[in-house]
Amino acid sequence: MSADLRGKLVVAISSRALFDFEEENRAFEESNDAAYMRLQLDRLETPARPGVAFQLVRKLLAFNTSDTERDRVEVVLLSRNDPVSGLRVFRSAQHHATPIERGVFTRGRPPFHYLHALQSHLFLSANPDDVRAALAAGYPSAQVYPESAHASEAHPDEVRIAFDGDAVLFSDEAERVFQDQGLPAFQRHEASKAAQPLPPGPFKPLLEALHRLQQAASSGSVSMRLRTALVTARSAPAHERAIRTLMNWNIAVDEAMFLGGLDKGPFLREFQPDFFFDDQTGHVQSASRHVPAGQVHAGVRNEG
């Protein structure tokens, strides 16, 4: 019987998002792919250090049990690396006791078109062009900031994921009003439409998949838990539409922060997520000083 990914949370991740390959990447940028390949081959027996998204992946894989028929999460390497460099990636994963079995290596070609075959719920990459292409194709994707702080180890039995709202979980409909007409018009617009659910944003499918994972884990013998947070610049009265939208989707987040334009970084430092997703460069840069962060290149803020 062939393997099947249906019913699983599928995360596709590039090698630079999973491991610290910044020195190797500099060799590529300063020379060529041949220099990169030689360096990776020379270091074949040297395990790479964990990268920004490593702890997120490690914790998600902990939802799987020893009974492979009950595996709930699949992590697949999806990388522009060449197959030889891929050897080091797999060996590094093995060294760090991270059970990743599948990988696609395209030697410089854009890899995002394999997301359909993988039925991916999330694609993490340090390459912004690949992320934009994946988002355009309809897959939740984020550009990992390799310089981000690594996740706290304070919650070893809990995956913590934080999301921005507009242009991430929700569409950028309201954000466009804010950009065109300013804050008072935005507040009036959202208050008048409080009972009307916002259209879904690019990360709704991931939130749905996480919700299913959370429900499955709560009914089984899995020690890992999942905690989600909405971290948004919205404030009252615009908060109501966001809450009602989640209610309409039958999805509950564990925490919601309506910050009214306050810097998100300090609040994320307290929440201690394993990853944070936001569409705005400034918010991601602020967050990355405290927590692992990635940019969702979607919405009006990323046009042009």
Instruction: Map out the domains of the chain as residue ranges.
Output: 9-144, 158-302
Q: DSSP secondary-structure letter at 69?
A: G
User: Which of the 8 DSSP states describes residue 152?
Assistant: P
- pLDDT, residue 221, reads 64
At residue 251's C-alpha, the angle toward residues 249 and 257, to 5°, is: 110
Residue from 127, 70, 64 nearest 97 by CA: 64
Give residue 32's pLDDT: 75
What gap in Å lies between CA 227 and CA 233, rounded to an integer?
20
Report pLDDT for 135: 97
What integer pLDDT is reported at residue 62 of this predicted model?
Answer: 93
| Residues labelled catalytic | 164
Task: List, for the chain, all residue ranges whose pLDDT scores fall below the cut of 50.
Answer: 1
Q: DSSP letter for 19, please.
A: B
Instruction: Report the pLDDT value the prediction gives residue 33, as an integer from 0 to 100.
Output: 78
278, 287 Cβ separation under 8 angstroms: yes
Q: Can you name the residues that pair with 294 across neighbouring β-strands?
A: 144, 277
* Contacts for 94 with CB less than 8 Å, ≥ 6 apart: none
Q: Where are the alpha helices (DSSP H) in the chain?
A: 15-18, 22-30, 33-42, 54-61, 83-95, 115-118, 128-136, 173-181, 183-192, 204-218, 239-248, 264-271, 281-288
Q: What is the pTM of this model?
A: 0.94
Q: Is the dihedral of CA 47, 52, 56, 57 positive or negative?
A: negative
Task: Write the pLDDT tens digit of every residue in 280-289.
Answer: 999 999 999 9
Residue 71: exposed, middle, or buried by beta-carbon count in 10 A (0-12, 13-18, 19+)? middle
Tell me how far apart the alpha carbons of residues 210 and 240 are, in angstroms, rounded to a whole number.
23
Q: Do 9-144 and 158-302 agree at the fold level? A: yes
pLDDT number for residue 216: 78
Closest-CA residue to 168 (of 78, 268, 302, 262): 302
CATH number assigned to the domain with residue range 158-302, chosen from the 4 options 3.30.360.10, 3.40.140.10, 3.40.50.1000, 1.20.200.10: 3.40.50.1000
List, for residues 187-237, the tens digit of each pLDDT value: 899 899 999 999 999 999 999 999 999 887 776 667 899 999 999 999 999
CA–centroid distance for 148 within its chain = 13
Model pLDDT, residue 126: 95
- The domain 9-144 belongs to what CATH superfamily? HAD superfamily/HAD-like (3.40.50.1000)
Identify which of 205, 50, 58 has the alpha carbon closest to the alpha carbon of residue 134.
205
The answer to whether 231 touches 161, Cβ cutoff 8 Å, is no
